[in-house]
Each structure stands twice: as C-alpha cells, then as structure tokens.
Amino acid sequence: MIKNDLFLRALKGETVDRPPVWMMRQAGRYLPEFMALKQKYDFFTRCRTPELASDITVQPIDIIGPDAAILFSDILVIPQAMNIEVEMKDGIGPWLPKPIRSQSDVDQVVIPDIDEELGYVMDAIKMTKEKLDNRVPLIGFAGSPWTILCYAVQGQGSKNFDKAKGFCFTQPEAAHQLLQKITDTTIAYLKKKVANGVNAVQVFDSWGGMLSPVDYQEFSWKYIQQIVDALKDETQVIVFGKGCWFALQEMAASGAAALGVDWTCSARNARYLTGGNITLQGNFDPSRLLSPPSDIKKMVKQMIDEFGKDRYIANLGHGILPNIPVDNAKAFVDAVKEYKV
C-alpha cells in the first residue's frame, strides 16, 4: 500500500483534506543535485541507466516533498525506439538529424518491440519503486502523438512548428500513418509501464495549442482519445494539453481521470468548460515561481480557493523553469500542504 495516496484519491474524485501537489518537470533542471549528475553523464545516458534515472526521479521527493513522483525520462525516447534518431544538444535541446519529410520516411518508421527497445524504462520503473518504498505514487508519461510528430518532422524545437504543420497539411495521408504508428507504440509502451508498476499516466500534448480547434481534432485529439480508450480500464490517465482550453469540454467526456490546465485558462473557465465533475490539474504560471516565497504562498492559496480543494491536483501550468530557486519550488509545495479551507 502507498503511504501517501492523496494524489490517487484526488484522481478518483474522493474528498480530501487538502489537494495533492506535484510539479511538471520536477525531476531535474533547477536542482543542484541534478546538475551535478548532468555534468557527468549526457542526457540519454541518464535516461537509459536505471540507476541514474531512478535516483533523479527520487531527488525531488527527498528535497521538495511533492505528493507524487514522475519518472525521469523523456517523451523523445519513443521516436528513438521507432528508428528515428534523436540527440539532445546543449543549448539547442532535441536535435533530429534525419527528420521525417516524406511518405518513404514514414515507411522507415517502425513499431518497436517495447521490451527490446525500451526495457531500460521498465527497469528504471522497478528500481524507482524500490527507492520510493511506497512513500508516494509514481507517474509514467508519454508525449501525445501530435507533439512527437512535431519533433519528428520539424527536427528540433520551434516557435511555430511550421514544417510539422506543413507536412500535415500537404501530405495528410503520410502524416496520419505516422500519427497512427506513434499511437500504437505509445499505447503498448504505457501499458508496459503500468504492468511494471506506475500508478497513473500523463499524456503531454505540449504543442496541441499550436493547432486550430478544427485541426486539433484531426491531428491530435483523435489519437489521444485512442490512448485514453486503451488505458482507462488499467490506470488513471491525465491529459495535459498546453494551450488546449478550447478542447476541454470534449476532453472531459473522454474517459480521462484528470485534465491538465495551463495558466492562460482561469480555474473558473476550466471548471465551466469541463462541467465541474472531473479532476483538474494545474495551473500556476511557472514564471510566478520567481516571485518571493511569501507571494507564492498567497497565490497558491488563492489558486486552490478558485479550483476548490476537491477534484483538484495542484501543479504548475507547464514545466518548472531551470532558473527557479529551490526555496521557491519548496514554498509552492509547502503552501499546498499548509492549505486549510
């Protein structure tokens, strides 16, 4: 039994004394303990070495004390396993030397055997579970098929993912084939993660908000819905679509246990659009963690009052930024833990 199961209870919609809290991208970036490991091992070595990945996953639990852990890994291990080369370059971020630009490129993309290509993730899960020793639940994750396509086609991060969108709009058949291959791989991958011990999964649609509402349905949501359908009887699924407030109503009817909200959507709007019955997660502006800790505490109290303490998971509206002082991250988590109605 997990000792602190507040996060799982909030996902089920149970009444709680205070909401649970965790932070997207809490493993790494701003923690000096993480930066020390970063000096020694390159990014994918950290992902592929279960000893390192599990240590990094547990660091924020020991240092900051959130109510859930998220496995240290990356959404881009999926395209890597599908025969798409992915590098992580200092100062640039993800770098794909041979981006997907044609039907024949899509034909080269494989649906891998998960144990063979991603067994290291499963080993990291098992080792993390041991190190967590049932203190808090462990979240597994994957990128949405659209967000993975963004990197696979663009070849790197982008302000507008113009090449990814251009590919979808000029070669829709090839794009849909690629999205389906990613979807099939992601479903098999997340099912294995659940079988190996993660307690919930989150789908990150970080670039869903790049699409118009109509294109979002066709190129992103359709595939996320397949993932939710395939996973919802085995685990609790959280869908986080950055900039996707326009799709919240549909998301609420999808079978997902919870929906992530970014800071551009008010709590009131998010509750209104989702009908008030589903667990919501978010939505503190990550840059607001630069405010003095006393301001952070006041704003967190206000945020919980607006969402309501039940059916709510306190989180940021996107990943924590690298330049956040550890004390400020801790103030955020502490403020949720100190919450009283």
The residue from 19, 28, 66, 112 that contacts ligand CP3 (CB under 6 A) is 28
CB of 73 to ligand CP3, least distance (A): 6
Query: Residue from 74, 87, 105, 218 that binds ligand CP3 (CB under 6 A)?
Result: 74
For 285, phi and psi rounded to 5 degrees?
A: -60, 120
The strand ranges marked E within the chain are 69-70, 87-89, 93-95, 138-143, 200-205, 236-241, 258-261, 279-284, 312-316
Number of residues that bind ligand CP3 (CB under 6 A): 23
Q: Which is nearer to ligand CP3, 127 or 271 (CB)?
A: 127
148 binds ligand CP3 (CB under 6 A): no
- The minimum distance between CB 29 and ligand CP3, in angstroms, equals 5
Question: Per-residue x/- marks for ligand CP3, 107-146, CB under 6 A?
Answer: ----------------------------------x-x---
Stretch that binds ligand CP3, among 72-80, 108-116, 269-277, 329-337 (CB under 6 A): 72-80
Residue of 8, 58, 68, 76 interacting with ligand CP3 (CB under 6 A):
76
Q: How many Å apart are CA 155 and CA 76, to the nearest integer?
A: 11
Cα 125–Cα 131–Cα 137 angle in degrees, nearest 5 = 65
Cis peptide bond N-terminal to 283, omega within 30 = yes
Contact 281, 247 (CB under 8 A): no
Burial 103-142 (b: 16+ CB within 10 A, else e): eebbeebeebebeebbebbbbbbebbbeebeebbbbbbbb
Nearer to ligand CP3, 90 or 116 (CB): 90
Span interacting with ligand CP3, options 25-33, 184-192, 216-224, 248-256, rule CB under 6 A: 25-33
Q: Are strands 93-95 and 87-89 parallel, antiparallel or unpaired?
A: antiparallel
Residue in the structure block whose two tokens are 């240290």? 72
Q: Which residues contact 16 (CB under 8 A, 6 or more apart)?
A: 6, 9, 10, 309, 310
* Tokens at 338, concatenated: 């100190």
State which residue, 25 or 129, has the beta carbon closest to ligand CP3: 25
Interface residue with ligand CP3 among 7, 43, 221, 332 (CB under 6 A) is: 43
Per DSSP bridges, beta strands 93-95 and 138-143 are unpaired
CA-to-CA distance for 30 and 326, rounded, in angstroms?
Answer: 7
User: Binding of ligand CP3 at residue 24 (CB under 6 A)?
Assistant: yes
Binding ligand CP3 (rule: CB under 6 A), the pick from 6, 11, 30, 72 is 72
Cβ 67 to ligand CP3 shortest distance, Å: 14
Q: What share of residues in the chain are helix, strand, coil (percent, to 5)?
A: 50, 15, 35
**Contact flags string 213-252 toward ligand CP3, x per CB under 6 A:** ----------------------------------------
| Binding test (CB under 6 A) with ligand CP3, winner from 319, 321, 330, 337 | 319
Chain contacts with ligand CP3 (rule: CB under 6 A): 24-29, 38, 43, 70, 72-76, 88, 93-94, 141, 143, 157, 204, 206, 319
